Amino acid sequence: MKINEYRGVKGLVAAEVVADTTDKFDCGVPFEIAGVAELSRTTEASSEAHYYDNVPAVVIDSTGSDEVTITTSAIPFKALAQITGQIYDEKKAMLIEGERDVKYFALGYITEKTDGTEVFVWRLKGKFNIPDSTHSTKDDSTEANGQELTFTGINTTHKFKTTGKTAKAINLDTSINPQSNETFFAKVQTPDTITEKSQ
C-alpha cells in the first residue's frame, strides 16, 4: 500500500441546483467562487445501542449533514451574491445586502495528494452561509484577511441509476481513473455521468 497525505486544494467552483426530483437531477453552469486556502469537512453522525432483555441488542446509526468550512480569498461581489442569494447590480458594481433568495448549489474543487495526484470532488447539494468579513488597518506587517465560507451539504432527493441511492458527493481518484480537469468541472458530475476507467 502506498502511503499518501493530502497537501493542496484548488479550483473552487459552484453551480446552482436547478432540479432535484425523483425523475431528474440537474445543475446550471459552474462558476468560480474565489481562491481557496483551506477546506475541511465534518459529517454529523451518531451511533447508539438500544437495549432489550437487559443487553445491548441493536446499534442504530444515523448520518446527518456535512459541514464544509472553506477559507477563501476575498470573494468577488457577483459570486458572493449568487451563492448567498443576495443582489448584485452589475451596472453599478454594487452588492446589496438584505433579503435573500437562498438556493441550493453543488460545490466543486480539486484536492491533491503528496505524490502529486489529484482527487476531483463534486459535493452535490447544499447551501452557503453569508461569510464573515474582517477588515484591519494597514501596518508594517504583511497581514491581510480573506473570508470563511460554510457550505452545509445534504443528500440529493434524486436516486442515481449507478447506485440506486441518493448521494451527497462524488470523489474521483484521477491516479486510477484519469479525467480532464476542464471537462470534469465544465458541468456538475454525478455517479451516473462518470465514465469507467480504461482497462
pLDDT (mean) for 160-189: 94
Find the length of the chain. 199
From CA 9, how far away is CA 167, in angstroms rounded? Answer: 22
> Residue 103: CB partners within 8 Å, gap ≥ 6?
16, 17, 85, 127
Whether the per-residue pLDDT at 119 is higher than 90: the answer is: yes
Whose cell is 453551480? That residue is 15
112 burial (CB, 10 Å; 0-12 / 13-18 / 19+) is middle
Name the phi and psi angles at 54, rounded to 5. Answer: 70, 15
More confident residue, 186 or 3: 186
Whether the per-residue pLDDT at 11 is higher than 90: the answer is: yes
Strands 6-20 and 25-27: antiparallel
Whether the per-residue pLDDT at 199 is higher than 70: the answer is: no
Residue 152 and residue 65 in contact, taking contact as beta carbons nearer than 8 Å: yes
From CA 34, how far away is CA 145, in angstroms rounded? Answer: 13
Task: Please give the mean pLDDT across all residues of the chain.
Answer: 92
Strands 132-133 and 31-32: unpaired
pLDDT (mean) for 115-128: 95
pTM over 0.75: yes
Whether the per-residue pLDDT at 89 is higher than 90: the answer is: yes
pLDDT at 36: 95
Q: How confident is the model at residue 2 (pLDDT cuts 50, 70, 90)?
A: confident
Residue 118 and residue 103 in contact, taking contact as beta carbons nearer than 8 Å: no
Whether the per-residue pLDDT at 79 is higher than 70: the answer is: yes
Whether the per-residue pLDDT at 87 is higher than 80: the answer is: yes
Residue 105 and residue 83 in contact, taking contact as beta carbons nearer than 8 Å: yes
Whether the per-residue pLDDT at 33 is higher than 70: the answer is: yes
Residue 20 and residue 157 in contact, taking contact as beta carbons nearer than 8 Å: yes
pLDDT (mean) for 153-170: 96
Going by C-alpha positions, the residue among 67, 61, 71, 72 that lies closest to residue 123 is: 67
